[in-house]
């Protein structure tokens, strides 16, 4: 939420400046039209941020769920199948590199996990360069499992862009479910790693 509030300050300031300039002195009709266009762009950015903030608030108001076991490979396969047409339209591919079942324990149901992963992969597809692939791998270690998503980006994207907001919401959803989120950018190559618990936490008995 702090990131979203900080991001909201930029278009708000820009809109205020645009209106002050419009009122400062007489302008031509063309200048007024251009000012309105700039205002609409800034308003659209604020609307996207407000929608993201609303989603975060609704998420925080949800009841904490009991730990639930989820099989990730099958979940990711469904997400990839749903998003393949989107990737085709963009001239990209989604490659799921895992075949074996991978199980994890989260504080979210399968529907919530599917929604978070859909948002994550959809954003990665929007951010990747045309003609490249978004590669997804789920793997299991001794005490944790992880999902790694890699893609080649076209360049820096504004934190206000819808794909970046989608990643932020996915991050909030996954962290609420108990995941640890890591993101790395190296020369246009981006990697997201989501670490999840493999086993439920030990029960604590109160005498």
* Cβ atoms of 173 and 112 closer than 8 Å: yes
Per the structure, the complete domain to which residue 92 belongs is given by 68-197
The CATH number of residue 118's host domain is 3.30.565.10
63 pLDDT band, cuts 50/70/90, is low
Residue 75: pLDDT over 60: yes
How does the average pLDDT of the chain come out, rounded?
A: 86
- Say which residue, 188 or 201, is predicted with more confidence: 188
CA separation (Å) from 119 to 37, 126, 152, 197, 200?
29, 11, 18, 21, 25
- Number of folded domains in the chain? 2
Establish if 205 belongs to a structural domain: no
Can you give the pTM of this predicted structure? 0.80
pLDDT in tens, 182-193: 999 888 899 999
Give residue 32's pLDDT band: very low, low, confident or very high (50, 70, 90): confident
Band (137; pLDDT cuts 50, 70, 90): very high
- Report pLDDT for 125: 95
- Catalogue the E-assigned strands of the chain: 68-71, 93-96, 103-106, 133-140, 144-152, 180-186, 189-197
* Domain-embedded: residue 106: yes
């Amino acid at each position: 939420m702090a990131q979203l509030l900080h991001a909201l300050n930029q278009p708000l300031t820009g809109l205020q400046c645009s209106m002050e300039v419009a009122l400062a002195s007489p302008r031509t009709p063309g200048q007024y039209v251009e000012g309105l266009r700039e205002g609409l762009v800034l308003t659209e950015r604020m609307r996207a941020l407000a929608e993201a903030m609303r989603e975060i608030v609704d998420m925080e108001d949800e009841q904490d769920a009991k730990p639930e076991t989820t099989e990730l490979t099958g979940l990711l396969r469904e997400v990839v199948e749903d998003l393949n047409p989107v990737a085709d339209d963009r001239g990209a591919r989604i490659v799921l590199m895992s075949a074996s079942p991978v199980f994890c324990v989260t504080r979210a149901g399968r529907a919530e996990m599917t929604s978070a992963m859909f948002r994550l992969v959809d954003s990665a597809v929007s951010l990747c360069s045309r003609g490249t692939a978004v590669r997804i791998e789920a793997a299991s270690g001794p005490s944790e499992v992880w999902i790694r998503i890699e893609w080649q980006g076209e360049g820096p994207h504004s934190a206000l862009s819808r794909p970046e907001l989608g990643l932020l919401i996915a991050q909030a959803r996954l962290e609420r479910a108990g995941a640890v989120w890591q993101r790395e950018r190296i020369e246009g190559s981006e990697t997201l790693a989501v670490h999840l618990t493999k086993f439920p936490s030990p029960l604590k008995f109160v005498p």
